[in-house]
Structure 1
């Protein structure tokens, strides 16, 4: 059995919300802040990685 890699989403805002993608498979909505230094943040629930558009080519 293999596990799927977490989802990577390119976004234009530095503050985003993650709810895991749906009611049946989701999680409580959390607000995440993308640091200006690194350009990405990972959701503590579902491990989705949110990358700011300015850093998309570096992620």
Structure 2
């Protein structure tokens, strides 16, 4: 009984980690797209930036 519970717990942990990593990949892709759009659409005058970082 205990080994079965451990296997199920391991499966749940791996499933959760896989879902979290996939979500983090999508967030990283969205941030990259926003950065690229801001880089392409930035003003051409001097050192003007589209963000305030």
TM-score class normalised by the smaller sequence: under 0.3
Normalized against structure 2, the TM-score is what? 0.20
- The structure with more strand, counted as a fraction of residues: 1
Larger helix proportion, structure 1 or 2?
2
